[in-house]
Amino acid sequence: MHFSNAAALASALFSTIAYAAPAAEFGWKPLTATVQLANDQSGANANVVIPIDGVKRPVQELWGNTAVAHNGLVFASSAQLTAYQQTTVCTITEEKPHLSATLDAERTSVSLGRPIVDLCSAYIVCECEGMDEFV
C-alpha cells in the first residue's frame, strides 16, 4: 500500500511538470531570430537561426561551416538581423580586440569593422528586451 501511494505521488508530480513546461508536442515553439553575417570583401554572407533564450553561443560554432568562414575561421564586416520579434536584442561580443555590436528592431544592421573582422573568439546572445526584469 505504501508503494502505490509513492507511485501515485510520483505520477502526479511528473504529469504536473509535463503540463507546466511548454513543449513542441503541445504546439509551443521557441522564439528565434535570424542573424546574417556578411563579408563585404569576399561578397559572402550567411544566415543562422538563433534561439531567443539569453544563451551565449560561439560565433565560430554557428557560422564555422558557412560561406563567411575561410579554412574554418569566421570573418565578417557586418551583421544584420533579418528575422526577429519586435523585442529581440542580439549582441555580438569579443573581448580582444574589443567588439560589442547590438542588433534590435530599431538597429537591424551594424558594421563590425573594415575591411573584415576575425570573429573566431566572438559570441552572440539573443534575448527578449526586458528579459532581465522577469528573472
| Span 83-127, pLDDT tens digits | 999 999 999 999 887 899 999 999 999 999 888 999 999 999 999
Question: CA dist 85 to 17, 35, 50, 68, Å?
Answer: 28, 12, 12, 25
The DSSP code for 18 is: H
Give me the count of residues in the chain. Answer: 135
Q: Residue 82 has what pLDDT?
A: 96
Domains of the chain: 32-134 (2.60.20)
- The residues near 37 (Cβ < 8 Å, ≥ 6 apart) are 45, 46, 48, 59, 63, 66, 68, 74, 76, 78, 79, 119
The pTM score is 0.75
pLDDT tens digits for range 40-55: 999 999 999 999 999 9
Interatomic CA distance for residues 93 and 100, integer angstroms = 5
Classified as helix, coil or strand, 133 is helix
Interatomic CA distance for residues 49 and 88, integer angstroms = 13
Tell me which residue of 43, 103, 55, 98 sits closest to 79, measured CA to CA.
103
pLDDT tens digits for range 68-91: 999 889 999 999 999 999 999 999
Beta-carbon neighbour count of residue 125 at 10 Å? 16
